[in-house]
Structure 1
């Protein structure tokens, strides 16, 4: 099996899933996106479930690469303001350069609600986010217990759906029309500044 072609097909399948959604993920669409002869994707991934598995594995690899890059950059910002800046940057990436990757992942999450085997493949991504955000909170000198990490992670995860749909009224209602302010507000809610509250 040609591994380069397999990787190209996986990337094409992720792009198709992001652009056309679950219903648009067909072997023919993947062949067209990858620029290969009709029937090629089916030779590598014989069923639709095999296509979904391939995209899920691709997403997990991409997530690990992003996580490794962040880890390689050091422990993270050392204060609240720096962490808010990082979180806003991550949200901008998710709705900008990383949009295709994020849309594919969210489409997979929807499919996983009906496919336990797919949920199992994606599970490490979601679980790792809680631990990663806990580490970032600790590095910034903020409360970083499980409840704080949960509050931060769930707020960010919930924001992604609205951010990617881009509906203006919803973005404004959620505070996502200003990602810097949104990141600061989320941190303030997840980890209130006790000194400010007491004053």
Structure 2
């Protein structure tokens, strides 16, 4: 059977919305059909089973979370000191938080990955690849702190996003901004001074 890439994307986007709203237990092929506003049975033509749907939804979340290559390069090119590095991180937190359903779906997928080896493999490979890319870009840009700093910032910023999306009233915007600034100062360390 020939498949329509636009319809597949719409079904995966529907799966992301169902995961974010109803959790992994609510994700069924029928629920995805309903969310995507397609005839019942359509999702079963695109996904072998629920596991296949989960794995492909995981890949789709990352596809949507990743900025364009030019934007990534520009972010690192502009991170010249602690303030601009902090601005880059706040921008990343804001960008990820803006895709609320995607990040909440990703949290559901991570929990589901503890029970589904194929999904765990996909998420592990994707996260490791992202970390390795961030370390390489960080080092290529000549930023201080090295791989350990990148890993610590990754962990800190991810939990900041979780906090912002799940309990948004725990921290004020000013507190979040200050936490990012303090994390840069304490984890990444001093930036080299530039010659004037």
* Structure 2 counterpart of 1:185, from 158, 177, 182: 182
Q: State the alpha-carbon separation in 1 of the partners of residues 141 and 83 from structure 2.
A: 9
1:123 equivalenced with 2:120 (yes/no): no
Q: Is 1:9–1:34's contact at 8 Å kept on the other side of the alignment?
A: yes
Query: What is the alpha-carbon distance in structure 1 between the residues aligned to residue 94 and residue 191 of structure 2?
Result: 29
- In the alignment, what sits opposite 1:20? 22
Helix, strand or coil at the partner of 2:40: coil
- Alignment check: 8 A CA contact 1:152 1:186 kept: yes
Structure 2 partner of 1:38: 40
Map 1:101-116; keep pairs closer than 5 Å.
Answer: 101-116=102-117
The Cα of 1:75 is off from its aligned counterpart by: 3.3
**1:86 corresponds to which of 80, 85, 88:** 88
Q: Quickly say closer, same or farther: Cα 1:129–1:179, change in 2 above 3 A.
A: farther
TM-score (norm 2): 0.83
**Matched residue, 1:10:** 12
Which ranges of structure 1 fall in alignment gaps of 5 or more residues? none
Distance 1:39 1:105 in 2: 25
CA 1:177–1:120 in 2, change beyond 3 Å: closer, same or farther?
Answer: farther
Q: Give the whole-Å Cα distance in 2 for the aligned partners of 1:116 and 1:158.
A: 24
Counterpart in 2 of 1:59?
61
RMSD: 2.5
